[in-house]
Amino acid sequence: MPLPFDLEEIEQLIDMAIREDVGGGDVTTDSLVPEWLEARADFVVKEAGVVAGLVVAEQVYRKLNKKVSFECEVNDGAKLLPGRVIATVSGPARSILFGERVALNFLQRLSGIATLTAQYVEKIKDYKAKIYDTRKTTPGWRTLEKYAVKMGGGMNHRMGLYDQILIKDNHLKALEAGQALSKGVRLAREKAPQWMLIEVEAKTLEEVEEALAARPDIIMLDNMSIGNICRALEIINSARLEKAPIIEVSGGVTLENVEEIAEAGPDWISVGALTHSAKALDIALDVRGMI
């Protein structure tokens, strides 16, 4: 199965994971399992969820031993019930056991993110808003974790500091008081590539007014109460701009309040918890037998 992201970047991550876990060798497996023995084993989901990371688990075994056959039974993004076999590995028993924890670490983490994302997406399926991720990712795992968000039905916000302007309060402190936000947007339009979106953060209704005057592409309503989100959207809609900004809500979003936020009418809802607080999905490798 081809990887849907940069192969070299992911292979470096896999190499590091194998090196930290297997090191100079699996002393338990080497002591107990004959070198000639072959086995077959199933990756099985133990709880309901959305699978992601099969393409990475397959690469783990390719790295360890090309004689191991990895056969996917489902595709990334599949919604599954407990007990479903998602992939089968067969070949040298030692290599299968060497790769067990590394493959599971990728599968469980990424499937957990995909599963949590799908829960948010399901909550707001009747509204126009879309669920977006953030940059609150595990160092080195950003590409994979944002891939998992997509497998759960979510959308990717900027990948890094290099592909979108986002003017926040700490940036404005570098500018003189008064028209800092307007000046920030003007400077961004002058210096950034013309294709790049410009987003500004607004924490108060006064900042929403200032943001509207600056004419950014996106206004982020940051850590606002539901009441203030509704009032901010009223202010923005009443401005009747020829090109209305995209409205993003961020901060304090949970599964309990996301539907109420979506009902207010924003375009995007960004959720840091998708990647910084997702619980790993319970997946196990069950050896079916020796062959």
How many Cβ atoms are within 10 Å of 8's Cβ, its own excluded? 6
Q: For residue 101, what are its two tokens? A: 């924890």
- Longest pairwise C-alpha distance within the chain: 75
Q: From residue 95, how far is each of 59, 60, 196, 212 by CA, in Å?
A: 13, 10, 46, 59
Q: Is the dihedral of CA 147, 262, 255, 222 positive or negative?
A: positive
Pairing of strands 246-250, 218-222: parallel
Residues 6+ apart with CB under 8 A from 283: 43, 44, 45, 46, 86, 104, 107, 108, 111
Q: In the annotation, is 136 catalytic?
A: yes
Out of 101, 130, 135, 183, pick the active-site residue: 101
Q: From residue 96, how far is each of 66, 91, 217 by CA, in Å?
A: 11, 7, 50
Q: For residue 247, what are its two tokens? A: 């409205």
Q: In the annotation, is 201 catalytic?
A: yes
d(CA 137, CA 79): 23
Out of 40, 63, 130, 136, pick the active-site residue: 136
Out of 40, 130, 168, 215, pick the active-site residue: 168
Q: In the annotation, is 222 catalytic?
A: yes
Q: In the annotation, is 123 catalytic?
A: no
Decide if 216 contacts 245 (C-beta within 8 A).
yes
d(CA 186, CA 206): 19
Out of 133, 201, 207, 248, pick the active-site residue: 201
Decide if 199 contacts 161 (C-beta within 8 A).
no
Out of 76, 133, 222, 248, pick the active-site residue: 222
Give me the active site residues, please. 101, 136, 168, 201, 222
